[in-house]
Amino acid sequence: MRKLRLFITLFVILTISLFATKISIFHINDTHGHAWAFSEYHNPNIGGFAVIASIIDEERAKNPNVLFLHAGDINTGVPESDLLNALPDIFALNRMKLDAVAVGNHEFDKSRDVLMYQMSIAKFPFLSANIYKDGKPFFTPYIIKNVGGIKVAIFGLTTEETAILEPLFSKDLEFKNAVEVAKQLVPELRKKADIVIALTHLGMGQAYEGNYTTSEELAKEVNGIDIIIDGHSHTKLNEAKVINNTILIQAWEWGKIVGKLDLDVENGKIKEWSWTPIPVNLKIYKGKDENGNSMYEFVGKEYKPAEYVKVPLDYFAKIGSKKLDTVIGETKVLLDGERKHVRSGDTNLGHLITDAMMWKTGADIAFQNGGGIRASIKPGKITIRNILTVLPFGNTVYVMKMKGSEVIKVLEYAAKLPEGKGAWLHVGGLTFKSENGKVTEVMVNGKTLEMDKVYTVVTNNYMASGGDGYSMLAENKASGYDTGFVLADVVVEYIQKGLNGLIEKYDDTPRYIRK
């Protein structure tokens, strides 16, 4: 009987191993330097790679068939990370055994040598099949992993919009149409693997004027992709999408959630699946107790950080923190850099930034893209850390000469932009109105814009190079020069000297009125 029971047990195990394999895929995207836990209003100590590591490790303890993927934009957003060129992030992801990352547009925020350095220290590949140089893929197009006997192909795709968003350090590269590349690649991968995953930095549901592929379009237009794990649009999903038999998922932003896709694979095919967005210590504010202390309730389970990730990240956080925490002033009001606000209208923080550029250079007009403003500054003491969080890209200040007829082209382009675009224009020194995409009025320092008059215009070097589609600025670039002043430093100096370190109120009267 004992031998019979043993035989039956072995037979059941063998049968399961032959016909059913459980695979769990964890994924994050758009972490933007948020390797450490951070706090938001009424939501303290959330996210962080050390906590995400604990979530993944919990599954690995039960099932060895685990993949961990990142859908792009490791870079830019937290000063401790930015100062060290994302070394802390990559070091932690190495320890967490990341399998691959898609190349995001923000991987081109800094010079090519920085990107090559990041790739050299990473123990995981940077994937993109549609970025070419000299007729060849510049990055690793795809990898094939053996996961519990199942061959899983993972290929990367990067938004074609990168050529517009990040022209400074990507102008020597060709960003091919993601759909066309996938149509050629997927049939090849289907022959080599059981499951095909597109790890993409394309974005969902975005209204583009240009021909930029979304992940929904990829799923609709390309047959044979089992799963699309996406990034770029910072989309918060409550459930997975299914388009053309393709599972489409994204994990919001900054590591606030980690997505978990569970697959039951039989005979090399997905038979059952489920997707869960796991909150990374997110909380619900429950008011204050009788002693005035804030009370919170966890959304889901509370996770402790994994020490093997937390300890080195704590060390990295100390590097340069003394300088970052230097107080430069104080604000009595919220300086609004909320993403949805700076990409759809004026804010007092946008005004402060453009005013700082004019103050430093004596320019008549200032232009700043909303996508370059990455955070708000809360009432209270202002530190260098705050300014670098708002302006993390290291952009320099660029001055040029433009006729009024050339300035109007900038405004006409901005007037046609849909709300939500990073190209949304913030201005200083002028006000303008538009109706149905047409500019109807422009005033410069209280006077009507003169078409033949030459104005001194100041912007950041990103826009001066045609970033965010401002090609008309790039056409005038030769008329001016890069001051070499780092924009963040200019804002620091403006607050310290131009505003005497105190902001009691800041102009929030709209400078751009759209109808």
Lowest pLDDT segment from 161-175, 343-357, 402-416: 161-175
- The pLDDT of 406-414, averaged and rounded, is 98
In a domain, 339, yes or no: yes
In a domain, 75, yes or no: yes
What range does the domain containing 98 cover? Answer: 19-318
- The pLDDT of 376-380, averaged and rounded, is 97
| pLDDT band at residue 4 under the 50/70/90 scheme | low
Give me the number of domains the chain comprises: 2
Rounded CA gap, 369 and 363, in Å? 17
Rounded CA gap, 158 and 200, in Å? 6
Q: Are residues 243 and 353 in the same domain?
A: no
Q: Is 3 helix (H, G, I), strand (E, B) or coil?
A: helix
* CATH code at position 485: 3.90.780.10
Q: Are residues 55 and 182 in the same domain?
A: yes
Q: Are residues 128 and 239 in the same domain?
A: yes
Q: Which of the pair, 8 or 498, is modelled with greater confidence?
A: 498
Q: Is 226 helix (H, G, I), strand (E, B) or coil?
A: coil
Q: Is 358 helix (H, G, I), strand (E, B) or coil?
A: helix
In a domain, 162, yes or no: yes
In a domain, 301, yes or no: yes
- Residues for the chain: how many in total? 515
Q: Which pLDDT value is given to residue 11?
A: 52
Residue 1: is its pLDDT beyond 60? no
| pLDDT band at residue 437 under the 50/70/90 scheme | very high
Q: Which pLDDT value is given to residue 164?
A: 84
In a domain, 47, yes or no: yes
Q: Are residues 139 and 263 in the same domain?
A: yes
Q: Which pLDDT value is given to residue 208?
A: 43
Residue 7: is its pLDDT beyond 60? no
In a domain, 9, yes or no: no
CA distances to 64, 269, 339, 464 from 113, in Å: 36, 41, 29, 22
Q: Which pLDDT value is given to residue 205?
A: 86
Residue 8: is its pLDDT beyond 60? no
Q: What is the pLDDT of residues 197-249, one digit of tens each?
A: 999 999 998 644 457 999 999 999 999 999 999 999 999 999 999 999 999 99
* CATH code at position 311: 3.60.21.10
- The pLDDT of 266-274, averaged and rounded, is 96
Q: Are residues 335 and 240 in the same domain?
A: no
Residue 251: is its pLDDT beyond 80? yes
Burial category of 251 from C-beta neighbours within 10 Å (exposed 0-12, middle 13-18, buried 19 and up): buried
Q: What is the pLDDT of residues 487-515, one digit of tens each?
A: 998 999 999 999 999 999 999 999 999 98
Rounded CA gap, 33 and 48, in Å? 10
Burial category of 145 from C-beta neighbours within 10 Å (exposed 0-12, middle 13-18, buried 19 and up): middle
Q: Are residues 296 and 209 in the same domain?
A: yes
Q: Which pLDDT value is given to residue 206?
A: 62
Residue 158: is its pLDDT beyond 50? yes
Give 352's contacts (C-beta < 8 A, 6+ positions apart). 335, 491, 494, 503, 506
Q: Which helix H or strand E contains 21, and what residues bound it?
A: strand 21-28
Q: Are residues 423 and 291 in the same domain?
A: no
Residue 372: is its pLDDT beyond 80? yes
- The pLDDT of 1-21, averaged and rounded, is 57
Q: Which pLDDT value is given to residue 209?
A: 46
CA distances to 7, 8, 12, 375, 488 from 2, in Å: 9, 10, 15, 67, 75
Q: DSSP string covering 142-210, please?
A: EEEEEETTEEEEEEEEE-TTHHHH--TTTTTSEE--HHHHHHHHHHHHHHH-SEEEEEEE--SS---SS
Q: Are residues 388 and 269 in the same domain?
A: no
* Average pLDDT along the chain: 94
Q: Nearest-CA neighbor of 335 among 142, 494, 182?
A: 494
Residue 115: is its pLDDT beyond 70? yes
Q: Which of the pair, 127 or 79, is modelled with greater confidence?
A: 127
DSSP letter, residue 498: I
| pLDDT band at residue 19 under the 50/70/90 scheme | low
Q: Say what percent of the chain tops pLDDT 90.
A: 86
Q: Are residues 219 and 350 in the same domain?
A: no
Q: Are residues 253 and 371 in the same domain?
A: no
Domain termination site, one of 276, 301, 318:
318
Q: Which pLDDT value is given to residue 92?
A: 98
Q: Which pLDDT value is given to residue 6?
A: 54
Burial category of 212 from C-beta neighbours within 10 Å (exposed 0-12, middle 13-18, buried 19 and up): buried
Residue for token digits 């007092």? 348
Residue 17: is its pLDDT beyond 70? no
